[in-house]
Amino acid sequence: MLIWFLPVFLVLLMIGLPVVFGLLLAPGALLVLDGSARDLPVLYRNLYNGIDSFPLMALPFFMLAGEIMNRGGITTRLVEFSQAFMGHLRGGLAHVNILSSILFAGLSGSAVADTSALGSTLIPAMEKNGYSRKFAAAITAASSVIGPIIPPSGIMIIYAYVMGESVAALFLAGIVPGIMVGVGLMVMVRLMADRYDLPKAERIVKKGQTITTREAYVAWGLIRINIAGLLYGLSGLFEAGDQINGWIMFAVLLLVAHGICAYIKSQVSADFRVVCKKAVAPLQTPIIILGGILAGVMTPTEASAIAVAYALIVSFFILKSMSLKDLWPVIARSALASSAVLLLVGAAVAFKTVVSLSYAPQILTEAILSLSENPLVLLFLINMLLFIVGMFLDAGPAIIILGPILGPIFTELGVHPVHFAIIMSVNLTVGLATPPMGLVLFVASTVSREKVETISKAILPFLAVEVIVIFLITYIPAISMTIPRLTGFVQ
């Protein structure tokens, strides 16, 4: 009888019951009806155990870091930085929108935050420059799905916890797929530019840019450290510095980085340099997170706490864009969002317990394998299933419900767990922008004051690009697995 937990859960969702209560009520009621009421303590005990987790602490910390950076006025700086690089292309502001989403993904890891923050800035600007409002809203919604793919990613933290995978491995596996989605959208914009007569643009660099002396010095030092660090990392890949003391080598590379910066300085305008310097401090957040994890200095949870500390230092002391009175609303918003997600994860762990008691994974495995034993065919069918699920269910709950059922099936078929995690995460993330119930469509509609139906039609070409990327990720594992393997997080 317990096998009916999923239909009962879906019925509860359809009548409007919140997901977290449905996750508890459906299996709980069936345990009672099945005469297994003695197992109810397992249900609520796992609710607490599901939340009481050190790795899961990364989630509220990343949310708080994103809130602080967003409240600190980072969005405007990222947009200006993107405009300086891509504003001159045909359909320039559309490219700026996509690049801003790629950069913003390294700060927030949330599609909704991306749509809300960037949409409120870029949609009016695009409309003012000759783009239709529906096109501006559509490209904003389509590019916002990059947020949960490029690290840090909330849904990957949830998947890693529920399925027992490495957060660091999933973060690294998401880098190339996220960039591919962004590049694919840019290619589509370029193909549409002539056909739809998208506005031409010139390189947009605001004149008379100013920057404080403190921030200028910080940016000066960080740029050189970043370049030297990149060169040092590349030298390590090619085993160039094995016999040289690391610190001496890094000092030499700092001099090389200074020379590179001096050459670039002679080639660009003063205003362009200021725009780039103003973006340096915010863009250190993903570098700190990934750099610390890759260097083995910190775990993802510790990296999330360091990201919060860095966000506070940048906002309060470097940019001086926040005051103490701004901090409480930021903490309150982060606490509410985190508590909702953590309660959902705890309920999902309890739900997972009943899933195992019901033998649903074994039954579903037999049903799926009866269709075909070819992993390539099954991956195609599962992509279709996930795409449909993503139209109606948010990515977090969908991962929590389907991950424990589908993950073991494909692991047994020879699909690497991290590879399947990326397939599932990217597919369900794209579902956030898929009609009829994609969450970011409604956020884009609110920000742009355009009907959801109109945005849904305009977004279809961009969704086609994202679907192509999903299938490339699915059938070419090296796209997502190369970086984790090179860094040793996946064998």
Query: Whole-angstrom Cα distance, residue 395 to residue 435?
Result: 14
Spell out the per-residue pLDDT of the chain, length 491, in tens. 445 666 777 787 778 777 778 777 777 776 777 666 666 777 777 777 777 777 778 888 888 887 887 787 777 788 888 878 776 777 778 888 898 888 888 776 778 778 877 888 788 888 888 888 999 999 999 999 998 899 888 889 888 888 888 888 999 999 999 999 999 999 999 888 877 777 766 566 667 778 888 888 999 999 999 998 888 877 664 444 445 577 788 888 899 999 999 999 888 888 888 888 988 888 888 888 888 877 778 888 888 889 889 889 888 888 888 888 888 998 998 888 888 778 877 777 777 666 666 666 666 667 777 777 788 888 888 888 888 888 777 787 788 778 888 888 888 888 899 999 999 999 999 988 888 777 788 888 888 888 888 999 999 999 999 999 999 999 999 999 999 998 888 87
Residue 210, number of CB atoms within 10 A of its CB: 8
Structure tokens of 451?
């009907």
Give the per-residue pLDDT at 72.
Answer: 76
Count other C-beta atoms under 10 Å from residue 56's C-beta.
22
C-alpha span between 277 and 265 (Å, rounded): 12
Is 451 in contact with 404 (CB distance < 8 Å)? no
Taking a C-beta distance cutoff of 8 angstroms, is the pair 1, 34 a contact?
Answer: yes
> For residue 214, what are the contacts with CB-CB under 8 A and spacing of at least 6?
318
What confidence tens digit (pLDDT) does each residue in 308-322 have?
A: 898 898 888 888 888
Return the pLDDT at 4. Answer: 65
Give dist(CA 400, CA 194) in Å, integer. Answer: 43
Q: Which residues contact 51 (CB under 8 A, 6 or more apart)?
A: 342, 343, 345, 346
Would you call 208 exposed, middle or buried from its count of C-beta atoms within 10 A (0-12, 13-18, 19+)? Answer: exposed
What pLDDT is recorded for position 241?
47
**Cβ proximity of 85 and 179 under 8 Å:** no
* pLDDT score, position 3: 56
Residues 306 and 288: their CA atoms lie apart, in Å, by 8
Q: With contact defined as beta carbons under 8 Å apart, do 20 and 49 qualify?
A: no
Q: What is the pLDDT of residue 459?
A: 93
Global model pTM greater than 0.95? no
- Burial class of residue 205 in the structure, from the number of CB atoms within 10 Å of its CB (0-12 exposed, 13-18 middle, 19+ buried): buried
Biggest alpha carbon distance in the chain? Answer: 78
